[in-house]
């Protein structure tokens, strides 16, 4: 059986290993920058580097908070 070569540029494992079979980019390309980044960090938390799971979760929080502040500044009601 031939060995499968992982494409670390176009289809890295930490974005393609979700049990849904959906690749992260399929979802995030339809979102705003901040929301897409939050999803990306949640999606890969613990998959790219298990030792950085908490860091990935904190980055997701950063992007969510940044989006909240952006919407507030734009006058979006809570």
Q: Give the CA distances from residue 47 to residues 32, 36, 52, in Å, rounded to whole numbers and listed in that order.
A: 23, 17, 9
Q: Which residue has the higher pLDDT, 55 or 7?
A: 55
pLDDT exceeds 80 at position 2: no
Give the Cα separation of 37 and 77 in Å (integer).
23
- Condensed to tens digits (0 to 9), the pLDDT of residues 26-73 reads 999 999 999 999 999 999 898 888 899 999 999 999 999 999 999 999
How remote is the C-alpha of 47 from its chain's centroid?
Answer: 11
Domain ranges across the chain: 13-72
What pLDDT, on the 0 to 100 scale, is given for residue 22? 86
> Alpha helices of the chain — where are they, by DSSP H?
13-16, 24-28, 33-44, 53-73
Residue 5 reports pLDDT greater than 70: no
Whether the per-residue pLDDT at 7 is higher than 90: the answer is no
| CA separation for the pair 56, 73 (Å, rounded) | 26
């Amino acid at each position: 059986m031939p060995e499968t070569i992982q494409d670390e540029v176009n289809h890295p494992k930490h974005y393609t290993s979700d049990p849904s079979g959906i690749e992260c980019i399929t979802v995030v390309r339809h979102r705003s920058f901040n929301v897409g980044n939050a999803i990306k960090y949640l999606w890969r938390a613990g998959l790219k580097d298990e030792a950085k799971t908490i860091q990935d979760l904190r980055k997701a929080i950063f992007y969510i908070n940044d989006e909240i502040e952006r919407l507030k500044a734009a006058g979006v009601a809570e």
